[in-house]
Amino acid sequence: MISWNLYSRGDKIFSIVVSLLIGMFTIATLYPFIYIAAVSFSSGFAAQAGKVVLTPIQLTTEAYKYILVQPEFWISYRNTFIYTIGGTILSLLFIIPAAYALSRPQLIGRRYFNLFIAFTMWFNAGLIPFYLNMRDLNLLDSMFGIILAFAVNAFNIILLRNFFESLPQSFEEAARMDGANDFQILWKVFIPLSKPAIATITLFCIVARWNGFFWAMVLLQSEDKIPLQVFLRHTLATLSDDDEFAMTQLEAAYSAETVTAAIIVCSVIPVLLVYPWIQKYFEKGILLGGVKE
């Protein structure tokens, strides 16, 4: 470790400025989470009055009691897990073989396939054509439709393809000399060597699925199929339109704001539990997958 006294004056100033900027960025990133958590544990009156800044005011768990006794909350929570786990698994089943095929120089038409996939990152058919397509495929108000419709992401394919291309060709050549076919090479060679990139793609898929809101709101009509994010919107709209609730919330231990914050906290917890496990692969996967030699 280099002693601080060995740094030049310019290096010291630069280090201090960088540390301050990182500290400010960290505070700006963490504060929304801290604020939402504080609101969820505050009384309805304190939240309505705007008294909550950093810590809970008039500490209470009434907002959590309000939502945790609702069967609709647990149903939507279950649905979100189904969409996230099922959608992530299906995405990996599509993305990994596609990235492997596109990374192989011997693939006929490889350049055009890569161009077509990249093209979808810049242009798409639009909202109405996509909705009509889902309707014609009988995937409206279908849990399987939500899982299937968003299984493939062009960015994830390109990221993983670049990682596969960065692996030494000698591994594939050695496997072929031992008589392995493409499926065996992918399963026994490329996937074990690509854990950082696959973990990164998995994290992207999990976050995208867990936060999926717009299309779930548009395509799903049944209350027993909606995910947690749509349930949050419905709950907020219901509380806001409930005149009796609006009249009494100033005296209640919870309000629309504290209930909303409590649902947000509950929805964030699973992602916070998963991220530290994948984070050790995240930086390496992004770095190697985002650079093509």
Find the CATH number of the domain harbouring 195: 1.10.3720.10
Domain annotation covers residue 183: yes
Average pLDDT of the segment spanning 264-285: 74
> Using CA atoms, how far apart are residues 202 and 192, in angstroms rounded to an integer?
15
Cα separation, 107 vs 174, in Å, equals 19
pLDDT at 186 over 60: yes
> Exposed, middle or buried, 189 (CB in 10 Å: 0-12/13-18/19+)?
middle
Identify the weakest region by mean pLDDT among 63-72, 107-116, 216-225, 276-285. Answer: 276-285
Report pLDDT for 196: 82
Token duo for residue 235: 């709950």
- Work out the mean pLDDT of the chain and round it to a whole number: 81
pLDDT of residue 162: 87
CB atoms within 10 A of CB 219: 19
Please name the amino acid found at residue 257: E
Who has greater pLDDT, 253 or 2?
Answer: 253
Q: How many whole angstroms separate alpha carbon 167 and alpha carbon 287? A: 13
Q: Answer with the residue of higher pLDDT: 252 or 251.
A: 252
> How much is the average pLDDT of 203-211?
87
Q: What is the pLDDT of residue 283?
A: 57
Q: Are 260 and 236 in contact (CB under 8 A)?
A: yes
CA distances, 48 to each of 35, 40, 113, 214, 253 (Å): 14, 12, 54, 28, 11
> 219 lies in a domain?
yes
Confidence of residue 224 (pLDDT cuts 50, 70, 90): confident
240 within some domain? no
Helices (H), 127-220: 127-136, 143-149, 154-166, 169-177, 182-185, 191-193, 195-210, 214-219
Residue 275: partners with Cβ closer than 8 Å, 6 or more residues away = 203
H/E stretch holding 115 reads helix 110-122
Q: Is the confidence at residue 36, as pLDDT, over 80?
A: yes
Please provide residue 222's backbone torsions phi and psi, each rounded to the nearest 5 degrees: -75, 135
What torsion, rounded to 10 degrees, do the Cα atoms 51, 52, 53, 58 define? 110
Q: Three-state DSSP class for 194?
A: coil
| Domain count for the chain | 1
Return the sign of the alpha-carbon dihedral for residues 110, 111, 112, 114. positive
pLDDT at residue 96, rounded to an integer: 92
The pLDDT of 84-99, averaged and rounded, is 92
User: Distance (Å, rounded) from C-alpha 108 to C-alpha 110?
Assistant: 5
pLDDT for 290: 44
Using an 8 Å Cβ cutoff, are 289 and 197 in contact?
yes
With respect to residue 90, please indicate whether it lies within any of the assigned structural domains: yes
Between helix 71-103 and helix 256-289 the angle, nearest 10°, is: 10
In a domain, 59, yes or no: no
Write down the pLDDT at residue 247.
Answer: 44
Q: Is residue 66 included in any domain, yes or no?
A: no
> What pLDDT is recorded for position 93?
93
Q: What is the pLDDT of residues 51-88, one digit of tens each?
A: 888 888 888 888 888 888 888 889 999 999 999 999 99
* Sequence-ordered strand ranges (E) for 38-166: none
Please tell me the least confidently modeled range out of 39-43, 47-51, 75-79, 165-169: 47-51
Mean pLDDT comparison of 11-20, 73-82, 123-132, 245-254, highest-scoring range: 73-82
What is the rounded CA–CA span in Å between residue 62 and residue 39? 12
Banded pLDDT at 289 (limits 50, 70, 90): very low
What is the extent of the structural domain holding 164?
Answer: 74-228+269-289
Flag whether 254 is in a domain.
Answer: no
Give a yes or no: residue 147 inside a domain.
yes
Lowest mean pLDDT, pick from 6-20, 102-116, 242-256: 242-256
189-218 average pLDDT score: 86
